[in-house]
């Protein structure tokens, strides 16, 4: 039998709806409107599209959206000054500096200048450390979305064997920490892993986040495993067009797996939904209120 397809679009829409409900409650009961500030430096086309989507969805769930667009030649000092201004602004609960930044800027320095409590991307070194030691942190959006889908589909993951393919700071490493927090037995596979197919075949849960088109073949998948495909790769299609595919050979894997996310329409929509959830969480924490249930770790 073919695998259950985990519908990321529908799941993300549900998350946004739950965020909107909680935002309405915050406004009515406490007079608080969560605010998200997004900073875009330069005019990268993909970043432009992403920032517009973030702004539109922020408003749709009832939050305040603050967009700051800076020219490509903005100095790092001026960007850091803006970050410091946003850190001090009580109306701003979440700050996101869109990556990549221009080459003359130090991305780590900029990210680490953000107040960790407002770091809704979860990239600040303090949040990385808190997550790694099992403490309360702002969690990177994509791994958080993956975890939400796994919890929804599997429930208790205690004792399951999980393999994360990819060791990036944005997805692979935080995903491994989140799975450890669920009491999974976790392996991280990467470009130098020997016999990687055999490693993946052990897994009840596979999270593929390596950035290589269809790297994970169907015969790598343990029958009945749950497969979360984070990869977004643009490849050539018929007629000179292009299409998006994941890191997993979807057509082959779906015949073996118990459940699988498609590309597109799987993990991708969850990223912005979790950004909104993180902003709501940050607003609650800043005001000493209970965190929204089911929208954070």
Residues 6+ apart with CB under 8 A from 217: 197, 249, 252, 253
Active site residue 54: yes
Separation of alpha carbons 247 and 215, rounded Å: 5
Spatial neighbors of 219 by CB under 8 A, at least 6 apart, are 197, 252, 256
Q: Of the listed 119, 121, 229, 249, which one is catalytic? A: 121
229 is written with which tokens?
């495909």
Bridge-based pairing state of the strands 35-41 and 64-70: parallel
DSSP secondary structure string, 31-46?
----EEEEEEES--HH
- From the candidates 22, 98, 222, 249, give the one annotated as an active-site residue: 98
Residues in Cβ contact with 33 at an 8 Å cutoff, skipping those fewer than 6 apart:
23, 26, 27, 62, 63, 64, 91
CA distances for 267 relative to 33, 88, 178, 188, angstroms: 27, 33, 16, 19
Among all residues, which ones are annotated catalytic? Answer: 54, 98, 121
């Amino acid at each position: 039998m073919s695998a259950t397809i985990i519908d990321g679009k529908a799941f993300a829409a549900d998350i946004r709806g739950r965020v909107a409900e909680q935002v309405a409650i915050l406004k009515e009961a406490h007079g608080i409107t969560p605010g998200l500030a997004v900073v875009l430096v330069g005019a990268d086309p993909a970043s432009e599209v992403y920032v517009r989507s973030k702004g539109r969805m922020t408003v749709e769930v009832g939050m305040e959206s603050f967009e700051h667009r800076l020219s490509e030649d903005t100095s790092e000092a001026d960007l850091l000054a803006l970050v410091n201004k946003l850190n001090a602004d009580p109306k701003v609960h979440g700050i996101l500096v869109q990556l990549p930044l221009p080459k003359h800027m130090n991305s780590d320095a900029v990210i680490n200048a953000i107040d960790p409590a407002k770091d809704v991307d979860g990239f600040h070194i303090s949040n990385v450390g808190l997550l790694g030691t099992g403490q309360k942190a702002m969690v990177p959006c994509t791994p958080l979305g993956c975890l939400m889908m796994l919890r929804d589909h599997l429930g208790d993951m205690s004792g399951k064997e999980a393999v994360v393919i990819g060791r990036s700071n944005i997805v692979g490493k935080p995903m491994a920490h989140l799975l450890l927090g669920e009491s999974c037995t976790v392996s991280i596979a990467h470009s130098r892993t020997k016999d990687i197919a055999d490693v993946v075949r052990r897994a009840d849960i596979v999270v593929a986040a390596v950035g290589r088109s269809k790297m994970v073949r169907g015969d790598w998948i343990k029958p009945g495993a749950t497969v979360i495909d984070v990869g977004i790769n643009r490849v050539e299609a018929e007629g000179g067009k292009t299409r998006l595919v994941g890191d997993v050979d979807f057509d082959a894997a779906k015949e073996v797996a118990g459940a699988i996310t498609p590309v597109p329409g799987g993990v991708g929509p969850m990223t912005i939904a979790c950004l909104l959830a993180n902003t709501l969480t940050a607003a609650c924490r800043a005001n000493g209120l209970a965190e929204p249930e089911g929208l954070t770790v």
